[in-house]
Chain A
Amino acid sequence: MNPQLLVNGLVNAALIAPPAIAFSLLFGVLRFPNFAIGGYITVGAFVAYAANVELGAPLWIAALIAMAATALLVWLSDEIVFKPMRGQPPVTLLVVSIALTLILEQVVRPIYGADVRGFAIPLQRPFKFWGIRITEEQIEIIALTILIAALTHALLQYTRIGKAMRATADNAMLAEVRGIDTGRVIMFTWAFCGALFGLTGVLAGLDLVIEPLLGWNLTIPIFAAAILGGIGSPYGAMAGALMVGMAEELTVLVLPSSYKVGVGFAIIAVLLLVRPRGLFGQPEIKK
């Protein structure tokens, strides 16, 4: 097998993992699949573009600005759109979230048009190891994603707010009864996930190009990774991202590369038929 494909798959997985973790965390506490993630990612990429290219900020500062901006945007989207609809069926909220992603995309389009753009970073030759090519940006994407996964693990396992997030996702009624202010936990979860979506916009802008459909194109693989790992399970989402990222790249061995985008759909379809709770998801127990 061509080892280059494995490296490409790894980079692809590293792009999908942070938003898949965020998607899963949000599902855990809010119990609906939020398809507005595409819109959040696109806005994150364009905020970073504005800060980096138009205002001349170094990319890492632009990335921090984008993360803060999307955290705010995501929190506002809860306050304005989702909070008034709490308790509605998940399908209603899913449709609303798709509408929201379309709105966010249409906010970006009149300002920046449909042109493809890139960050102001110098072009560099890729490194070559044993015939495998990898760019500095791709190495950074992988390193950052590993860091994000480790930080998320530490947050969920060792911090008070992280444990409250897990408790709220597990049993929100009981969390309230034990004195946890679940409203604040939900607010923190939105903001944390918003920052991850903003970062994804930056990473995707580094590896791909910045355009209004940037987030939308990532939505299906992100969703596939989250449900492959067992929706609501952030650890499953990490593993799911690795598998979906690899699968997308490896299919070019047997199929024309234009079919790559169909891999996420295929994974979703097979999972829904065979194992709807995902590979690592716990069965829902109802008494």
Chain B
Amino acid sequence: MAQALLQVEEVYAGYGRGDIIHGVSLAARVGEIATIIGPNGAGKSTAIKAIAGLVRPRQGSIRIGGEEIGGLAASEVARRGVGFVPQEANVFRQLTVRENLEMGAWIDREHFEERLERVHRLFPVLHERARARAGNLSGGQRQMVAFGMALMVEPRVLLLDEPSAGLSPALVAQMFETIQAVNEGGIAVLMVEQNATQALKISQRGYVMAAGRVAMEGAARALLDSAEVSELYLGGRR
């Protein structure tokens, strides 16, 4: 089995005094899409924020390509090849679309023009609205800016927190297609998604989190086919 690019082992983390996640272990392998599903309050976002450096793990280990990144500042985690797209407040509202993408390329400006072109190919509307303030865009367009920013560098792992949240059904399908396209370009993806069925369909691996722990894990297909997962987390749909 291929060595995991991102390896999270027995991580405890939370805000203030209490822990929200308790001994969570996750992995994302090269070329893979892994999805974390689970009910609200399961600790999915906390887990992904701990990897991104926004929540300090109290215990456990987070490694990227074998290097320990647990406890590093978010800016240092980003420099080690982890791209994170938060669910909320994920664009610089006062900056233009173009300036947002420039900020995306903050740690690596060398291939700016070619990456800008790639982002424009993925999301043509960002080219058309380059001079618009990001705060004036629609929710779907803001999500594209957020995604585009993370692609202005060449992340090894892309962490996505609810990438389809707030999007219309047509845009949700488009977003998942884009995630697949990005992944096919060689970027490993670890995402948290409420839209569990669709997310698992494009994933190779899945995790089910509940009450701050990983309750189940396995091949995404197997989770989709599991009667228990279907009943509890996919609304009985297959």
Contacts and interface: CB of A to CB of B under 8 A. Distances in A.
A177 B74 contact: yes
B54 interface: yes
Contacts of A166: 92, 94-95, 99
Chain B interface, DSSP helix/strand/loop, else mixed: loop
A174 B78 contact: no
Interface in A208-234: none
Contacts of B73: 176, 181
Interface in A171-196: 171, 173-182
Interface string A121-136: 0000000000000000
A260 B65 CA distance: 65
A285 interface: yes
Nearest to A232: B94
A172 to B, nearest CB: 10
Nearest to B159: A177
Contacts of A173: 54, 74, 86, 89
A177 B95 contact: no
A164 to B, nearest CB: 7
A277 to B, nearest CB: 13
Interface stretch (B102-110, B218-226, B227-235): B102-110
A171 B52 contact: no
Interface in B7-62: 52-54
Contacts of B93: 170-171, 282, 285
B135 A179 contact: no
B95 A287 contact: no
Contacts of A174: 86, 89-92
Chain A interface, DSSP helix/strand/loop, else mixed: helix
A166 B73 CA distance: 20
A177 B54 contact: yes
Interface string B76-96: 001100001010111111110
A176 B90 contact: no
Interface in A252-287: 282, 285, 287
Contacts of B104: 178
Contacts of B102: 163
Contacts of A171: 89, 91-93
Nearest to B74: A176
A218 B24 CA distance: 55
A163 B103 contact: yes
Given A178-B104, A180-B103, A282-B135, A287 B89 contact: yes
A199 interface: no
B79 A179 contact: yes
B86 A178 contact: no
Among A167, A182, A287, the one with the most B-chain Cβ atoms within 10 Å of its Cβ is A167
Contacts of B174: none
Contacts of B107: 178-179
Among B75, B84, B86, B149, the one with the most A-chain Cβ atoms within 10 Å of its Cβ is B75
B92 A167 contact: yes
Contacts of A178: 75, 78, 103-104, 106-107, 149
27 contacts: A163-B99, A166-B99, A167-B95, A167-B103, A170-B93, A170-B95, A171-B91, A173-B54, A173-B86, A174-B90, A174-B92, A175-B92, A175-B103, A176-B78, A177-B53, A177-B54, A177-B74, A177-B84, A178-B75, A178-B104, A178-B106, A179-B79, A179-B106, A180-B75, A180-B103, A181-B73, A285-B135
Given A181-B73, A287-B89, 13 more contacts: A167-B95, A171-B89, A173-B54, A174-B89, A175-B92, A176-B54, A176-B74, A177-B86, A178-B103, A180-B106, A181-B75, A282-B93, A282-B94
Of all A-B residue pairs in the complex, the 4 with the closest CB atoms, nearest first, are A179-B107, A179-B78, A176-B74, A170-B92
Interface of B: 52-54, 73-75, 78-79, 84, 86, 88-95, 99, 102-104, 106-107, 135, 149, 153
